């Protein structure tokens, strides 16, 4: 899972890309980068947050009327600082000149690497998009039709999720083009302002840079834009779209819309469902900040139990997307405090979006009880996570999930409640999730293996059997 942005038009774009990256910072915190092009390549990328990587004015103001940017959430490669630096995007080649950024995860990179004589410069799966695309554009006079043909050829060999942006040189008129996987697992949207066009992960970017939303890019599509504002688009492979349910549950910001559906409204409706289906007698509803807030609003409205802020968040880092368990724990321990005046002697409904490993919710329940809460009833806006995601969420091993025991058995809700110290626990159902989102969804991590697209079931079962703790199966 990453944040991507590409802008093209008749004026310099670097400052717009820089501001856009702040709007997708929540999608990746391990590295950030930007590349612009004016006949020469101008690139800045490094490990760290956007404000840390672009710490000088010269890194923000780069020439070029076309550019791409990226905030990275690591689903490939090692997690040490040197690896994060090396795997930062955008990534590019010079023969032919082609630059790319990617949101998603390609799980058959080993196969793809055998199909090209080019040597990957990094361990990141961006190479599985960049290298075969470069092979197909090599020594070609670029036109939209040539790009469509190359993208279709690459699509046929890829397995996984991708919303990818490419920047290609065609002489005086460079192209920005995008490619989405046929199931449209990762979001991609198009916006416009005064002859400038923007392709990015979330609609909230358009509010930041004052662009007008035009459309969501369909699955299996390629869209090509030049600096004159000409747009060429084809849907090359048409399948039933299966957007990632975790985009709605956790990753996307609540002020974004995916396929026309408000992320806030989805979370609000799931909160209402929890209140109707799993009611509890309580004094207050408390959200886990900020991830549980919109669910808690829906729960409180439906149940009539007042909403209150029993937990305060002191940091803006997201614990789930930290690279290691140690860093996740640090964010939780250092980033939260408990309001005794709100919690003391209260029966509390604690609301969050999901439980993966259980470490964070266990610490929250303990902290609230230490602050005087009498009872804590946990309600979760996502069904139990039971299997690794191979399509862009870094849940590496089946051994990570609190919902599975060491023998692979799925635990009961009562067992999990006891482990986290809660008085009761209830999750949203898969059907409620589909109803709130309003479409079919990719749900491989909550309904394994049937929740994956049918054509990948055999592949994901093989990956599941290769599973090793703290190792991604598609990298072993």
How many CB atoms neighbour CB 106 within 10 A?
A: 28
For 405, counting Cβ atoms within 10 Å of its Cβ (0-12 exposed, 13-18 middle, 19+ buried), the class is: exposed
pLDDT attached to residue 175: 97
pLDDT 10s digits, 167-182: 998 777 899 999 999 9
Higher pLDDT, residue 132 or 170:
132
318: pLDDT strictly greater than 70: no
Higher pLDDT, residue 328 or 289:
289
Q: Average pLDDT in the 15-29 region? A: 97
β 347-352/375-380 pair status? parallel
Query: What letter does residue 250 receive in the DSSP assignment?
Result: I
* CA pair distance 213, 397, nearest whole angstrom: 38
| Cα 131 versus chain centre, distance | 23
pLDDT 10s digits, 58-86: 999 999 999 999 999 887 777 889 989 99
Answer whether the bond into residue 309 is a cis peptide, omega within 30°. Answer: no
Among residues of the chain, what percentage have pLDDT more than 70?
A: 94
458: pLDDT strictly greater than 80: yes
- Per-residue confidence band for 335, with pLDDT thresholds at 50, 70 and 90: confident
pLDDT attached to residue 76: 73
pLDDT attached to residue 328: 46
Q: Please work out, in degrees rounded to the nearest 5, the angle formed at the alpha carbon of residue 216 by the alpha carbons of 211 and 220.
A: 140
- Per-residue confidence band for 396, with pLDDT thresholds at 50, 70 and 90: confident
Task: Walk me through the domains of the chain, giving residue ranges and CATH numbers.
Answer: 3-241 (3.60.20.10), 262-475 (3.40.50.2020)
How many CB atoms neighbour CB 419 within 10 A?
A: 14
* CA pair distance 76, 303, nearest whole angstrom: 42
pLDDT 10s digits, 231-262: 999 999 999 999 999 999 999 999 999 999 99
Residues carrying an active site annotation: 2
Burial code (b: 16+ CB inside 10 Å, e: under 16) for 124-138 equals bbbbbbbbbbbbbbe
Q: What is each CA distance from 273 to 104, 172, 262, 299, 434, in whole angstroms?
A: 30, 55, 17, 8, 12
- Beta carbons of 31 and 6 less than 8 angstroms apart: no
Mean pLDDT of the chain: 93
Answer whether the bond into residue 430 is a cis peptide, omega within 30°. Answer: no
pTM of the model: 0.93
Q: Average pLDDT in the 441-467 region? A: 94
């Amino acid at each position: 899972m990453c944040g991507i942005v590409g802008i093209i038009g008749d004026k310099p774009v670097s400052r717009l890309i820089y501001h856009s990256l702040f709007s997708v910072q929540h999608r990746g915190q391990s590295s950030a980068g930007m590349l612009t092009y004016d006949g020469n390549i101008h690139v800045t990328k490094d490990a760290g947050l956007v404000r840390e990587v672009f710490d000088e004015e010269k890194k923000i103001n780069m020439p070029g009327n076309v550019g791409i940017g990226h905030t990275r959430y690591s689903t490939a490669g090692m997690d040490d600082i040197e690896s994060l630096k090396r795997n930062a995007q955008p990534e590019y080649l010079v023969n032919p000149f082609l630059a790319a950024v990617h949101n998603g995860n390609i799980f058959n990179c080993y196969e793809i690497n055998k199909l090209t004589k080019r040597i990957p410069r990094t361990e990141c799966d961006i190479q599985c998009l960049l290298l075969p695309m470069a092979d197909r554009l090599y020594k070609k006079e670029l036109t939209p039709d040539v790009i469509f043909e190359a993208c279709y050829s690459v699509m046929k060999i890829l397995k996984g999720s991708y919303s990818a942006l490419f920047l290609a040189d065609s002489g005086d008129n460079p192209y920005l083009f995008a490619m989405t996987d046929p199931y449209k697992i990762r979001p991609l949207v198009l916006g416009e302002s005064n002859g400038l066009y923007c392709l990015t992960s979330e609609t909230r970017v358009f509010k930041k840079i004052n662009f007008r939303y035009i459309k969501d890019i369909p699955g299996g599509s390629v869209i090509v834009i030049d600096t004159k504002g000409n747009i060429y688009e084809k849907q090359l492979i048409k399948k039933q779209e299966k957007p990632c349910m975790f985009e709605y549950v956790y990753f996307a910001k609540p002020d974004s819309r995916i396929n026309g559906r408000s992320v806030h409204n989805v979370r609000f409706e799931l909160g209402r469902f929890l209140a109707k289906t799993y009611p509890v007698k309580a004094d207050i509803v408390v959200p886990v900040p900020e991830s549980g807030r919109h669910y808690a609003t829906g729960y409180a409205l439906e149940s009539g139990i007042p909403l209150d802020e029993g937990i305060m968040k002191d940091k803006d880092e997201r614990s789930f997307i930290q690279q290691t368990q140690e860093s996740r724990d640090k964010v939780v321990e250092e980033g939260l405090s408990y309001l005794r005046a709100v919690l003391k002697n209260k029966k509390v409904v604690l609301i969050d979006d999901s439980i993966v490993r259980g470490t964070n919710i266990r610490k929250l329940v303990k902290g609230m009880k230490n602050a005087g809460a009498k009872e804590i009833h946990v309600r979760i806006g996502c069904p139990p996570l039971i299997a690794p995601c191979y399509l862009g969420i870094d849940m590496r091993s089946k051994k990570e999930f609190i919902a599975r025991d060491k023998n692979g058995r799925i635990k009961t809700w009562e067992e999990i409640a006891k482990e986290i110290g809660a008085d009761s626990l209830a999750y949203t159902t898969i059907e409620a999730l589909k109803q709130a989102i309003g479409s079919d969804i990719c749900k491989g991590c909550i309904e394994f293996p049937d929740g994956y697209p049918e054509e990948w079931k055999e592949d994901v079962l093989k990956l599941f059997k290769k599973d090793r703790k703290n190792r991604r199966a598609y990298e072993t």
